[in-house]
Amino acid sequence: MISLPALIIAAVALFVIYLIKINRDRPENFPPGPPKLPVYGSYWYVLKENFQFAHRALDGLAKKYKTDILGFYLGDTPAVCTFSTELNKELLTKDEFYGKAESILTQARGNGKRIGIFFVDGMYWQDQRRFTLRHLRDYGFGRRSENFEQFTIDQIQHMMDLLLSDPRPEDKDICRAKGEVLMPDIVYGYFNNLMWYLLSGRSHDLKTCRDLSRAALGFQRAGDVLGGAISITPWLRHIAPTFFGYTSAVEDNRKMYVYCEEIVKEHMATYDADHHRDFIDDYIFEINKLESQGIYNTSFNVEQMTFIVMDFMFPAPIAMGHTTNFLFGYLVNYPEVQRKIQEEVDLVVGRGRLPCLDDRKNMHYTEATIREILRKEPANPLGLTRTSTADTTLGGYFIPKGTVVMTNVHSAHNDPKVWGDPENFRPERWIEADGTLTKKDQTLGFGAGKRVCGGETFARHTMFLFLSCLLQNFTFLPPKGEQKPDLSKRIFGINISLPDFWMYAEPRT
């Protein structure tokens, strides 16, 4: 009869042999990194390093392995993360890394399909992205448009009127007293409305826009960029769907989809081929044109149009809202930066009119502040994960087909070799000796290459107008008797955000 100690020794020996075997499967010349363990692969080490913030965990592992390119495993899937500016750019611009990673959460977002723009790749993605960006530009997305700039100013004016008024019943969720507003919720509705203007040709109810933005926020907080445990072991959604974020991902996604679907249906019912009002009308025209030619089996259809609308509605309030939240959180903590922006606005624009995009080229410190917040607090510190579509190399290492790849933008933006004192919030780092804005911008918050964020120009224009107009007319402070927002705190998710905080807008006299 075999004794219990002998059984334990045998079990341990078999387990060690198993670990040796699965780690021998590591490809030759694969980047250095933690070993592969059962079930979750190297994800155990990520959780041990920092179970909330994947970008910090991977940065810590990279330092332990003394590498700028980390190789690890998410379950059985090989994964790679780059940390330096040079390697991040190489990854972002190489054709073999344009594939999109799929998970149970992205499937939930697409109602079980790979659809839309953000989470698809190949010719389908290229055709849809090319069409969408080309037609959105006609309405002011990505280039100057007098009509869209005026609409943006109207939204800012509405926000300023709200700051100067006693809160209305419908605004009690974002305004608790005259001038006291909740960040970032107050900007959600306005940023969302800007996208709705481009997509659907009109303004939408701001309270509804805020509710939709919070649904989008719920979806993005359902997991991190790595997908979490539920992406590696999707059967967990049947055991504890709420705990692992699946319930929120499905329900919040559904709220957004239903609203977008209603807007599309309304457009189809009132469509006039001779009078295009907006992007949705352009897309309906394309569907009808293809069908009139007897072409039905294409990527252009009503469901795809609905998901494109949803894809573009999602980042405007969330990524821009989070960045603006960080921006005003820093401004409240750094009143000298506010003062310098206000001095620049007064010098360049004066007080007789609101700033416009023509002023941007002369407002170097304001632009430097926007650049600095984009460097210091990238909304998505690991970018959006991609996959390698073929065997290739990266930084001299072998990367097999199907590897999940990601860029640690946060690490690159905080590299002392590049930035000197990256831990400091210092807009002056972007100003040349002659007072002009430096031409070189090494930040990668919007990505690079063919999958660069199509909304970069939209985001930069919008943040400039909101920042300059608001600081022309207000100084932002903590409400009386309250503390400044704590810049050390974070809320995790696909995008990283500063916790909500109340601030007081003091009118400038």
Side chain identity at residue 46, one-letter code = V
Helix crossing, 185-200 with 146-163: angle to 10°?
150
Query: Looking up tokens 């002023």, which residue turns up?
Result: 359
Considering the entire predicted model, what is its pTM?
Answer: 0.90
pLDDT for residue 489 = 93
So where are the chain's domains? 26-507
d(CA 426, CA 439): 17
pLDDT (tens digit per residue) in 233-282: 888 888 888 777 788 778 888 888 899 999 999 999 999 999 999 999 99
- Residue 292 region, left (φ>0) first, then alpha (ψ -120 to 50), else beta? alpha
The DSSP call for residue 224 is -
Total length of the chain = 509
pLDDT for residue 18 = 46
Side chain identity at residue 158, one-letter code = H
pLDDT for residue 111 = 76
pLDDT (tens digit per residue) in 83-112: 999 999 999 999 999 888 777 777 777 777
Taking every pair of Cα atoms in the chain, the longest distance, rounded to a whole number of angstroms, is 96
Q: Do residues 228 and 244 touch, judged by C-beta distance below 8 A? A: yes
Q: Do residues 388 and 99 touch, judged by C-beta distance below 8 A? A: yes
Low-confidence stretches of the chain (pLDDT beneath 50)? 10-11, 13-14, 16-18
What's domain 26-507's architecture?
A: Orthogonal Bundle (1.10)
Question: Among residues 480, 159, 468, which one has the least CA distance to residue 338?
Answer: 468
